[in-house]
Structure 1
Amino acid sequence: MRKKVFLNVKEAKSKVTTLLLTGLMCCPMMSLAQNLQINVSDAQFTRQMMERLIKEYNKVNPEFTATVVDTREKADASVSLSGQDDVNSIGRFAILPIANSENELLRNKKVVKGLSNKLKHQIFVERDLLEELDAEEEGEKQLPGTVYSLTGSHAITTTLVARDLSITPNRVKGKKILGSEENLISAVRSHQDAIAFNVASLAYDSNTYQPVEGLTVLATDLDGNGRISDEERSVISSLDKLTDYLDKLPHTGLPIGNISIKTDNQELRRFVDWASTEGQGYLSPYGFLKANKALTAQK
């Protein structure tokens, strides 16, 4: 009887030892599955899109795990916004003129027809004395509304709008907001006289595809031909129509920026390659445009 008990104990110890050894052998493999961090602190409006791309990439590469973070601390990768062409671009963002839906400016017949280049300059550009005198001589009427724009080193929307208007950023007139594009949206919704430029992904509700409550997207020249067509006035009514229209254009009259991911991590570089190719179909629901194919093909 004692011998039998002794054998059972010995067998149990042997099994435990085997399990422990198996666990130790698995540990090095387990440590490889690290949770990578992608920082969006300088591109907060890309968060939802980035989370969707990670989710979809995980379906084709289950070993890949990453988390979107908003921190100034060093992460494994960072999402970067730029007005310059970038072979590492995973997508583009469009910038549109928006206004508080109660803004008196929206009752102006010229504004209702759409913002021509001349009208955009009249509304958004700070004029010098000579320009003011010229406008008075031409009988130009003062338009209602207060311009709100971002300021600071990361105010990419203001930089791109200024470039589109062929001016320096400090000539974009109105009240300056220090913060993110989300802060600018809040300011426009909070002030009835507000008008601004902001990214399409924030101007529309990602669930309904309609303009965010309290905001009106203003018609403007989308294809850059100097005119505003009925189709251009129509497509701004919903996000899906707008992104579909813009993605088909060889070039656009809107300020456009590039979204890229900076990283030295090999696994994340593979993710970036996937995002700029197979992942392109997941951008439009969040208001983003596909990356420039000719540009990304240079990688």
Structure 2
Amino acid sequence: MLFLALVFTLFSGRAFSQETADNKVIITGVRFAYPLVEKWIKDYTAANPKAQIVIETRTITDPQKYDLLIEAYEQEKAVKDSREYISVGRYALLPVANSKSNFAKEYADKGLTEKTYKQIFFHDIYAEKDKSLPQDYTIYTRLQKAGAPLTFAKYFGYEQQQIKGKAIAGADEHLIKALLKDETGISYTTPGLAYDLQTRKPLDGITIIPVDLDGNGRVSKEEKSLGDLDQVLTSLEAEKIKNVPIEYVHFSIDKHNSNPEAKKFLLWVAANAEKDLRQFGYLKPDAKRLEQEKEKLERFAAVK
């Protein structure tokens, strides 16, 4: 009897260990998306209590082992060819300033056109100079290669290393922390970091700088209406918006990853993500692109 009990314990332990391994999913990637991903994990595990889905925080590099990667910029072709993608939503990048700064006091009313945007934020020896621009501001940008600075620079025709200012190690939220400590600080960030997601108002101490959304060379009264996050998101989802970099946030899985729970979770996200996007400051994805990627993902998930 003792022998049988030991055998049962051994095999039941192995079965539990195997079930745990099969049901565990490790996610890593862009940190500003973690609050949204955490909401998805909470909802998914409520319906699938055996699943163990965890976020392993990205530092300078990604963890050695992970199942799903959430990223905020388009990867190189060689990387894209090795993974299956689902474009879950889009994020925008807005110019922001410390509310006590002279920059905020002047540009909250004046706003930024494409010309002033480029002169303020980028090193460009060929750019036309406007000598009336203030000089008493400090730009904060990311040190490491990352989605937000790559997207920000690319939109205006530059490389990340051409962004002016103090390069800060860490994540996008560290730019906000640095800006709040510096009364000359300005930067660029996502709506989810610039606004309080509960009140839908700009974070205390931060001024969102208006931009020339229609490209007519001036900033209108309507373009200065930045006090409500939902109103801003509605404006940004309109067609032909200018001077606001917008890029996809996407989940991906290695084409050789056979973790069934990772595939199941990814399909669930593809079907359920849209209802949470606005709450966390994201824009809806292109419906046609999302449907095409869903179909590819379903075929991939069906392969054992």
TM-score of Structure 1 vs Structure 2, range by shorter chain: 0.7 to 0.9
The residue that corresponds to 2:283 in the other structure is 289
In the alignment, is residue 240 of structure 1 matched against residue 230 of structure 2?
yes
Q: Following superposition of structure 1 onto structure 2, how do residues 208-219 of structure 1 map, counting pairs within 5 Å? A: 208-219=199-210
Deviates most, 115-124 or 216-225: 216-225
Taking a change above 3 Å as real, the CA distance of residues 224 and 48 of structure 1, as seen in their structure-2 partners, is: farther
Q: Following superposition of structure 1 onto structure 2, how do residues 122-133 of structure 1 map, counting pairs within 5 Å? A: 122-128=119-125, 131=127
Taking a change above 3 Å as real, the CA distance of residues 193 and 95 of structure 1, as seen in their structure-2 partners, is: same
Taking a change above 3 Å as real, the CA distance of residues 286 and 185 of structure 1, as seen in their structure-2 partners, is: same
In the alignment, is residue 249 of structure 1 matched against residue 238 of structure 2?
yes
The alpha-carbon deviation at position 51 of structure 1 amounts to 0.9
Matched residue of 1:262: which SS?
Answer: strand
In the alignment, is residue 55 of structure 1 matched against residue 39 of structure 2?
no
The residue that corresponds to 2:110 in the other structure is 113
Taking a change above 3 Å as real, the CA distance of residues 135 and 293 of structure 1, as seen in their structure-2 partners, is: same
Taking a change above 3 Å as real, the CA distance of residues 23 and 96 of structure 1, as seen in their structure-2 partners, is: same
The residue that corresponds to 1:260 in the other structure is 250
Q: Following superposition of structure 1 onto structure 2, how do residues 20-39 of structure 1 map, counting pairs within 5 Å? A: 28=15, 31-32=18-19, 34=21, 35-39=23-27
Matched residue of 1:88: which SS?
Answer: strand
**Structure 1: distance between partners of 2:161 and 2:13:** 59
Structure 2 residue ranges without an equivalent (≥5): 294-304
The residue that corresponds to 1:9 in the other structure is none
- Aligned residue type for 1:180: A
**Structure 1: distance between partners of 2:268 and 2:167:** 38
The residue that corresponds to 1:159 in the other structure is 150
Q: 1:195 aligns with which of 186, 195, 211?
A: 186
**Structure 2: distance between partners of 1:57 and 1:182:** 26
Deviates most, 86-95 or 196-205: 86-95
**Structure 2: distance between partners of 1:104 and 1:268:** 49
Give per-residue Cα distances to partners, 1:120-148, cap 9 Å, x unaligned: 112112232x64xx536xx5444431211
Over 6 Å off, 4+ runs: 20-27
RMSD of equivalent CA atoms: 3.1
In the alignment, is residue 280 of structure 1 matched against residue 274 of structure 2?
yes
- Aligned residue type for 1:57: Y
Give per-residue Cα distances to partners, 1:261-298, cap 9 Å, x unaligned: 22223322232232233221112111122222221211
In the alignment, is residue 183 of structure 1 matched against residue 174 of structure 2?
yes
Taking a change above 3 Å as real, the CA distance of residues 202 and 250 of structure 1, as seen in their structure-2 partners, is: same
Matched residue of 1:220: which SS?
Answer: coil
**Structure 2: distance between partners of 1:224 and 1:268:** 43
**Structure 2: distance between partners of 1:150 and 1:260:** 20
Structure 1 residue ranges without an equivalent (≥5): 1-12
Q: TM-score, normalised by structure 2?
A: 0.77
- Aligned residue type for 1:190: K
Larger Rg: 1 or 2?
Answer: 1
- Aligned residue type for 1:151: L
Aligned pairs, number = 273
Q: TM-score, normalised by structure 1?
A: 0.78
The alpha-carbon deviation at position 117 of structure 1 amounts to 0.7
The residue that corresponds to 1:98 in the other structure is 96
Contact 2:108 2:208 in 1 (8 A): no
Matched residue of 2:275: which SS?
Answer: helix
The alpha-carbon deviation at position 251 of structure 1 amounts to 4.7
Give per-residue Cα distances to partners, 1:157-189, cap 9 Å, x unaligned: 221111121122222112211221011111111
**Structure 1: distance between partners of 2:288 and 2:217:** 25
- Aligned residue type for 1:214: G
- Aligned residue type for 1:163: K
**Structure 2: distance between partners of 1:225 and 1:271:** 44
The alpha-carbon deviation at position 31 of structure 1 amounts to 4.4
The residue that corresponds to 2:299 in the other structure is none
The alpha-carbon deviation at position 257 of structure 1 amounts to 2.2
Deviates most, 119-128 or 99-108: 119-128
